[in-house]
Amino acid sequence: MEREAELVRLYDEAMELTRLQTEAIAQDEWDRFVQLLDDREACISKAERLLEGPTLPANRSALRTKLAEIQALDLQNQAAFQRKRHTLMRELNEIDRSASAVSGYRDAFGEPDTPQFFDRDQ
């Protein structure tokens, strides 16, 4: 019975960590997100080790339901993370294009520290 209670506790903790990941993604707190992901993986690994015993827990159905809820929220988090990632990649590409355009324009006038850069007629 202790093993089953510990499994329930671990799955509840994993669910809470997954919810916190949702918040971290929404707030662009990537270091926190990675730490929560590591913590959740450690929690799930502990649960998996408890499931390696000779007998299966009596509350398998409840545990499966909890695990399915964690997986569903995790899929939502992955989708939100991918959207954020794509948005960030587009922004970085725009910055890159702008930097290239400015660099090409600046190169046509000479080095930035020369008077020619500031006054083309000289």
Output the six-digit token pair for 67: 């695990």
Residue 120 has pLDDT above 70, yes or no: no
Residues contacting residue 41 through CB under 8 Å, at least 6 positions apart: none
DSSP for the chain reads -HHHHHHHHHHHHHHHHHHHHHHHHHTT-HHHHHHHHHHHHHHHHHHHHHTTSSS--TTHHHHHHHHHHHHHHHHHHHHHHHHHHHHHHHHHHHHHHHHHHHHHHHHTT--TTSHHHH-TT-
pLDDT at 103: 65
CB 47 within 8 A of CB 10: yes
pTM of the entire predicted model: 0.71
Q: Range of 32's domain?
A: 2-118
Residue 88 main-chain phi, psi, to 5 deg = -65, -40
Using one digit for the tens of pLDDT, what is the confidence trace for 41-70? 999 999 888 887 777 677 778 888 988 999
Encoded amino acid at 91, one letter: E
**Digit-coded pLDDT (tens) for 8-42:** 999 999 999 999 999 999 999 999 999 999 999 99
How many domains is the chain built from? 1
